[in-house]
Structure 1
Amino acid sequence: MSNKLGGICNISKKEMVLDAFKYRFACKEFDTAKQISDEDFQFILETARLSPSSFGFEPWKLLVIENKALRNEMKEFAWGAQTQLPTADKFLVVLSRTKNSLQPESEYIQNHLKNVAKMPDDVVAGYTNHFKNFLADDFDLLSDDRLVFEWASRQAYLAMANMMTSAATIGIDSCPIEGFNKADVEQLLMRKGLINTDEFGVSAMLAFGYRATEPTRHKTRQSLDAHVEVVL
């Protein structure tokens, strides 16, 4: 009996996850009369905090832009967020760490190893050297200043994806946005004292809220065979 109930539970969980993926779409305009509860938004943020990252370094930061005036200023440089900036209940700018703050001996990395991961000194030394080899040799990320930032952005996108999926599971809509001028948005955030470009760059934007209208077309995707090749 218990195995049967466990099987039913697993099917239910699978259906719930797939339903969330089917429900989620890139919402372009949100219902301004509906707000996300603090509890629900904290749940979404917590799924970002618990997201995986290469080496466990969590090289991202989320700016939650509540300031309406700042959102309005951002519209000038964010052509892909013209309807999301004024209507989303929660609007995030996703920052990723730059080469400077991800050097193996940097304050951020060493603090993470010693005080977050709480590694003993000998393990810290070994892990530092391992990460140094990864950057320099395995992925050749030190040959261009932009490459480490792009690597960090890939980690941030894992957190973004988890946030969007977790939001969809509780009926909250989202929209990931890359339609903006990176340099101009960074300059704006620098002028506001919200970013130090020696440490962070802007990777993406992410809007949350409740859809103003239902999507006009069904979700379209390629077949699984187009994405998956089994190597025997």
Structure 2
Amino acid sequence: MKDIPSPSAVQSQILDAFNFRHACKVFDPSRSISPAEFDTILEAARLSPTSFGHEPFKILMIQSPEKRALFRDFAWGANGAFNGTDGQIGTASHFAILLANTATSMTAGSDHLMTFYREVKQLPEEVIAFLTDAYGKFQQTDHKVTSDREITDWSGKQAYIVLANMMTTAALMGIDSCPIEGFDMDKTIAVLKDNFGIDPKDYKPAVMVAFGYRANDPEFGKTRRSMDDTVSWF
């Protein structure tokens, strides 16, 4: 029987990973993440939970230097403008953009969801009818998520669950990462449409993320609010 680590060992491993992780601004360009390790990061993304299990996200892996350069002028959070480097765009082993599904696919009763229920979830028709009604109520009355912007933002929330799981998985393997919101949304949408075939009616960018190995240790230690300021018990 395979040995299972003790709870205390697992706790230490988790906390060590979270203390190790930081928003890495510059990676060592000479070091690449192995395919097997990055497959684990992507599998963590694929297995991540999402609201209603709808998986309203897509991951674009952008490895070509020429493709990455298309974002350089306006991805100010990733182009090294603040520290005089090539930034995450130029130094990361792996660079991704997480896309959020729009109302076209994520409105209750959409063709996309009907196909998803039948082909991916393999649900019986009576369960599909129940789920469609429940999700419709969630959108219309419970959370009032009905406009394209509201539905896209809801999808983006799910993409952030995926993002967090990818970064935590990476940290557990000693791999650095950095989530990036510092980019011009309209220009990013235009580049995705013109150069990657991403129709903005179907997907909008939620967040960028870079992975690799740090070039230097963090300049400052990790700071957070105290537990008492973070959590209230009732």
**TM-score normalised to the size of structure 2?**
0.93
Specify the alignment match of 1:59 in structure 2.
56
- CA–CA distance in 1 between the matches of 2:202 and 2:228? 41
Query: Identity over the aligned pairs, expressed in percent?
Result: 40
Q: Are positions 1:80 and 2:83 aligned together?
A: no
Matches within 5 A, 1:108-123: 108-123=112-127
Q: Are positions 1:14 and 2:19 aligned together?
A: no
Q: Are positions 1:135 and 2:132 aligned together?
A: no
CA-to-aligned-CA distance 1:96-126 (integer Å, 9 cap, x gap): 0011110112122112211111110011011
CA-to-aligned-CA distance 1:149-174 (integer Å, 9 cap, x gap): 11111111001001000000111000
Task: Name which of 24, 35, 38 aligns with 1:38.
Answer: 35
- CA–CA distance in 2 between the matches of 1:20 and 1:194? 36
Matches within 5 A, 1:1-232: 9-82=6-79, 83-142=87-146, 144-231=147-234
CA contact (8 A) 1:101 1:198 kept: no
- CA–CA distance in 2 between the matches of 1:210 and 1:193? 27
- CA–CA distance in 1 between the matches of 2:112 and 2:39? 25
Q: Which moved more, 1:101-110 or 1:89-98?
A: 101-110
CA apart distance, 1:67: 1.5
Instruction: Name stretches of at least 5 consecutive residues in structure 1 with no aligned partner.
Output: none
Instruction: Name stretches of at least 5 consecutive residues in structure 2 with no aligned partner.
Output: 80-86
SS of the aligned residue for 1:51 comes to: coil
CA apart distance, 1:185: 0.5
SS of the aligned residue for 2:59 comes to: strand
CA apart distance, 1:193: 3.5
Q: Which amino acid aligns with 2:132?
A: T
Q: Which amino acid aligns with 2:155?
A: A
Consecutive aligned runs of 4 or more in structure 1 exceeding 3 Å deviation: none
CA-to-aligned-CA distance 1:189-214 (integer Å, 9 cap, x gap): 10013311111000100000000000
What root-mean-square deviation, in Å, do the aligned CA atoms of Structure 1 and Structure 2 show? 1.2
**TM-score normalised to the size of structure 1?**
0.94
SS of the aligned residue for 1:17 comes to: helix
CA-to-aligned-CA distance 1:18-71 (integer Å, 9 cap, x gap): 100000000000001000000000000000111111000110000000121121
- CA–CA distance in 2 between the matches of 1:68 and 1:97? 26
Q: Which has the higher helix share?
A: 1
- CA–CA distance in 2 between the matches of 1:115 and 1:147? 26
- CA–CA distance in 1 between the matches of 2:112 and 2:176? 33
CA apart distance, 1:228: 1.1
